[in-house]
Chains A and B, each alone.
Chain A
Amino acid sequence: MKPRRQLTRTQRITVVYGVICFVLILVVLQLWLLTATVDAYLGGDLGLVWPALGASSACLLLNLGLLRYLAKL
């Protein structure tokens, strides 16, 4: 069996920074999505609510996957 290469601390930190940046971008996207949804809801446009919930949930799932990867790193 091919031995699994272990990353050095410096390499792991780089990966962790990359993952955190990605998670941060997704969280900012979710914040924008929630703001736009509340604005549309208050303006009487209810058609946006469910697609926005789906998109935000997809972001959360992606974030959970990245967190899991981070825990295994």
Chain B
Amino acid sequence: MADIDPRVDNAAREGLAGTTPTSVYEPTRDPEDVTVAPDHRPMDEQPKWRRDFAIDVPEDNFVARRDFAKFLVLTSGAFVAGQAWVAAKSLVRRRDAASPRMKIASLSRLSLGSAIMFAYPTGSEPCLLIRTRDGRLLAYSQKCTHLSCAVIPELDRGILRCPCHDGIFELSTGRNIAGPPPRPLPAISIEVVGDDVYATGVVERMS
């Protein structure tokens, strides 16, 4: 008796005990794997236009799922591009981190319980310098952290209010205490030398 090849996939072993005929592994025909009309009636009952341009509906759906997967991966790539853009912006921000020291007001012209506007660190960044009734000096960016509307100081209520969506910030800290703003107002560091008030930096905060 000839030796049996121990390899399981040897053709000579086909049909022997413990092996499976290769016919089992042959592709089976799926009942859906035919051209069918959406109403499942036979093709000779279909209108002529459908007979001329028959569409395999299951196959058509199958391709659409793959196209959807491609679209999702494209979206995934777009998100990575967005992350890269933020990373590039952070590099630029680090490079330009040093804020200038800039005179923004004279203390003698700022009465107690009043506020003035100034632009810092560039001309397009509106800020507020507030002198409270007890003489403290506070400075914040005027742009609401929700959608950049200008906030209005309401010194009597001890708040800064954004009129666009009724966002409210605490006057003494700049913290967001009500409404849609997600973060506190950026604080402006100030320094008083004699009668002059200087802005020296911007402090952005998460909470």
Contacts and interface: CB of A to CB of B under 8 A. Distances in A.
Question: Are the chains A and B members of one assembly?
Answer: yes
Interface of A: 1-6, 8-10, 12-13, 16-17, 19-20, 23-24, 26-27, 30-31, 33-34, 37-46, 49-50, 52-53, 56-57, 59-60, 63-64, 66-67, 70-71
Contacts of B68: 20
7 contacts: A8-B30, A13-B62, A24-B72, A27-B76, A30-B76, A40-B206, A59-B79
Contacts of A57: 80, 83
Contacts, number: 118
Contacts of B108: none
Contact of A63 (B27, B66, B73, B89): B73
A1 B62 CA distance: 30
Interface residues of B, number: 42
Contacts of B58: 9
Given A31-B79, A52-B83, A60-B77, A44 B206 contact: yes
Given A9-B33, A13-B65, A43 B183 contact: yes
B148 to A, nearest CB: 10
Contacts of B84: 53
Candidate in B26, B84, B206 with the most chain A CB atoms within 10 angstroms: B206
Interface string B18-32: 000010011110101
Contacts of B27: 6, 8
B76 A20 contact: no
Given A43-B204, A64-B73, A16 B30 contact: no
A17 B65 contact: yes
A1 B87 contact: no
B86 A38 contact: yes
Contact of A67 (B32, B70, B94): B70
Contacts of B76: 23, 26-27, 30, 59-60, 63
Given A38-B86, A57-B80, A3 B73 contact: no
B30 A10 contact: yes
A4 B26 CA distance: 9
